[in-house]
Amino acid sequence: MNFRLAAIGLACATVLAGCGGLETTTITPDRLMYGNVTTIMVNGPNLDKGITLNAPNCSGIAEVTASAGPTQKVYTCTPAVTGPMTILAVGGGVVLRSMTVNVPVPQVSMKTSMGDIVLELNPVKAPLSALNFMQYVNANFYTNLIFHRVIPNFMIQGGGFDAALVQATTRAAIKLEAGNGLSNLRGTVALARTSVADSATSQFFINTVDNLSLDTLSGGYAVFGQVISGMATVDAISAVPTATSSGMADVPVTPVVINSVTQTQ
């Protein structure tokens, strides 16, 4: 990953004398990905004299207890933005080190029993929907679930049932983000929901044709990303034979299994 040193905020003539004995030398983030817990290491002398980490766009900052010591502090937090993100090490009311890093646009790799699909999310235009999906991804929620609803020349839907059509237990529903400027075009991914607007949880669908009517139908369906690789797999899934099973229509006769969904950046 490319890290850019933005500024060094040493406000005293000599760090040790003017900043209460505090000095930092490096800030090193690891696994810097949107919606995923990252580790940030601060290294330098005299860190046991008091230091805090400030990263306004990285939520849930917490010091790792085992990091306590004079030369290294370890923190965790979850980036909530993409693009530039500033990290500050502060001690004695003084910025000891400031660093701006780049959080890449999130991508996930979905491995299915019929091939792979790579999705790129858009947390700028669909922040609630993108973060919701990433929370399921990073909890390995989708492993061994299926595409349970396949309609040719429309869409493929998955993320809610296993091969026995047992519904998975989900997180709480989120607020509908339709009307965010993203349209249900071929290759886009959107959250599925019931007739209730704010009911989307884990289920998603991939549009196999332009479905512009879904932008406004019954309040609309929120697009939060797009397929950037693997549309051939999407099209192959959309062509499988389907039937009614356990009272559900359009279920693939042979289960199309989601083997894993992994965040890759």
Cα-based distances in Å from 162 to 59, 89, 251: 32, 46, 12
Both 133 and 234 in one domain: the answer is yes
Q: Rounded to two decimals, what is the model's pTM?
A: 0.86
Rounded Cα distance between 206 and 203, Å, is 11
By residue range, what is the domain housing residue 216? 107-263
Q: What is the 3-state secondary structure (H, E, C) of 143-177?
A: CCEEEEEEECCCEEEEEEEECCCCECCCCCCECCC
Both 124 and 242 in one domain: the answer is yes
How many structural domains comprise the chain?
2
Both 212 and 248 in one domain: the answer is yes
Cα-based distances in Å from 149 to 26, 52, 198, 224, 244: 51, 49, 21, 19, 10
240 token code pair:
């499988």
Both 209 and 129 in one domain: the answer is yes
Neighbour-count burial of 12, counting CB atoms closer than 10 A to its CB (0-12 exposed, 13-18 middle, 19+ buried): middle
119-157 in b/e burial notation, b at 16+ Cβ within 10 A?
bbbbbebbbbbbbbbbbbbbeebbeebbbbbbeeebbbb
Query: Where does a domain end: 103, 123, 148?
Result: 103
Q: Residue 233: its pLDDT value, please?
A: 98
Neighbour-count burial of 181, counting CB atoms closer than 10 A to its CB (0-12 exposed, 13-18 middle, 19+ buried): exposed
Rounded Cα distance between 150 and 235, Å, is 10
- Taking only the tens of pLDDT, the chain with its 265 residues reads 333 333 333 333 223 223 444 556 789 999 899 999 999 999 888 787 778 899 999 999 999 876 667 888 899 999 999 999 999 998 878 888 899 999 999 999 999 999 999 999 999 999 999 999 999 999 999 999 999 999 999 999 999 999 999 999 999 999 999 999 999 999 999 999 999 999 999 999 999 999 999 999 999 999 999 999 999 999 999 999 999 999 999 999 999 999 999 999 9
Rounded Cα distance between 162 and 184, Å, is 26
Under a CB-based contact definition with an 8 Å cutoff, are residues 243 and 212 in contact? no
Rounded Cα distance between 96 and 52, Å, is 10
Unique residue bearing structure tokens 């500024």: 7
Rounded Cα distance between 99 and 132, Å, is 28
Kindly report each contact of residues 241-250 with a partner whose C-beta sits within 8 Å and lies 24 or more positions away, as own/partner.
242/150, 242/151, 245/165, 246/165, 248/148, 248/149, 248/165, 249/149, 250/149, 250/150, 250/151
Both 136 and 235 in one domain: the answer is yes
Q: Which CATH number do you get for residue 219?
A: 2.40.100.10
Under a CB-based contact definition with an 8 Å cutoff, are residues 7 and 98 in contact? yes
Query: Where does a domain end: 103, 121, 143?
Result: 103
Both 72 and 134 in one domain: the answer is no
Rounded Cα distance between 17 and 214, Å, is 64
In three-state secondary structure terms, 260 is strand
Rounded Cα distance between 227 and 159, Å, is 16
